[in-house]
Amino acid sequence: MCLNAQDSRCYHRAMTIHPLLPDLTGPDLAISWAPLEALSGDPHPDEWEDIASAASNRQKEFAAGRLLAHVLSDQLGLPPAPLRRADDRSPVWPADRTGSLSHCDTICAAAVGKRSAFQSVGVDIETIGRVEQKLWPTLFTEKEAGYFSSLAPDTVALETTLFFSAKESFYKCQYPLTKEWVGFQDVAITRTDQHALAIAPTRGAAQAWHAAPIHTVKISASHVATVMLLHA
């Protein structure tokens, strides 16, 4: 029996989490996803302080992401530590690790890396088809929209979702380093191969955080995920 809701070892034994892009992971990096309903539990008291006044659905999403992050931290042999929320709503990762969280309608994803090996990571999970064509002028450059228009109709929903997700992963990856907001039109995505995308700024010079590939994976018939890693 688990005596403490924050005992990630107990939760890891009691639930099934799914590895995400296992070829990228190892002793310094863990990435997984799990159904939101499988990630129920009480947050650490310090974490609860950050979410106590939120709506119940938001509390559940918040607790699920923290729980999954604690499980992954435990997998890497990192000591237990609360994952607080900054004033800008981003997670405040302990000094020995970096990470990223994401959730959509029914699924939560997390990535945790040792700070000695990774400057930053970004993960995003999305429901295929949520990016409707009416949103293209807001989310994508003209070149990206032209690329989507050239695709077979049955592939457009998948590709637009992946491109949107890639921009989200990039934002999460660069933000801890730059503390700067990046708009959807400020960067452009291109496909480099079947499982990777590249990102570049649409104005100004490319920086180190633009250079890493964005890895893509279809994790079910209805969901995709993207991951970006900046090595130390």
The 10s digit of each residue's pLDDT in 111-127 is 999 999 999 999 999 99
In a domain, 153, yes or no: yes
Identify whether residues 94 and 183 lie together within a single domain.
no
pLDDT in tens, 16-35: 899 999 999 999 999 999 99
**What does the alpha-carbon distance between residue 205 and residue 190 come to, in Å, rounded to a whole number?**
17
The DSSP element (H or E) to which 65 belongs, if any, is helix 56-75
| Number of domains present in the structure of the chain | 2
Identify whether residues 84 and 147 lie together within a single domain.
no
Identify whether residues 33 and 79 lie together within a single domain.
yes
Residue 15 binned pLDDT confidence (cut-offs 50, 70, 90) = low
Identify whether residues 110 and 138 lie together within a single domain.
no
Residue 11 binned pLDDT confidence (cut-offs 50, 70, 90) = very low
Identify whether residues 31 and 108 lie together within a single domain.
yes
From residue 77, alpha-carbon distances to 9, 28, 80, 100 in Å are 11, 9, 9, 18
List the domain range (segments joined by +) for residue 209: 124-231
In a domain, 152, yes or no: yes
Identify whether residues 140 and 187 lie together within a single domain.
yes
Helix H segments across 150-205? 153-178
In a domain, 138, yes or no: yes
Identify whether residues 102 and 170 lie together within a single domain.
no
In a domain, 195, yes or no: yes
Q: Are 225 and 217 in contact (CB under 8 A)?
A: yes
In a domain, 55, yes or no: yes
Identify whether residues 178 and 200 lie together within a single domain.
yes
Which of 114, 134, 167 is a domain's end point? 114
Given this model, what pLDDT does residue 16 score?
83
User: Coil, strand or helix: which one is 43?
Assistant: coil
DSSP 28: T
Identify whether residues 110 and 129 lie together within a single domain.
no
Identify whether residues 162 and 208 lie together within a single domain.
yes
In a domain, 41, yes or no: yes
Question: Quick one: tokens of 88?
Answer: 């800008």
Residues 6+ away with beta carbon under 8 Å from 83: 44, 47, 66, 69, 70, 91, 92, 93, 94
Which of 51, 84, 114 is a domain's end point? 114
In a domain, 225, yes or no: yes
Identify whether residues 172 and 144 lie together within a single domain.
yes
Residue 4 binned pLDDT confidence (cut-offs 50, 70, 90) = very low
Share of the chain above pLDDT 90, in %: 87
CATH number of the domain within which 154 lies: 3.90.470.20
Q: Are 192 and 184 in contact (CB under 8 A)?
A: no
Identify whether residues 58 and 30 lie together within a single domain.
yes
Given this model, what pLDDT does residue 41 score?
78
Which of 114, 145, 174 is a domain's end point? 114
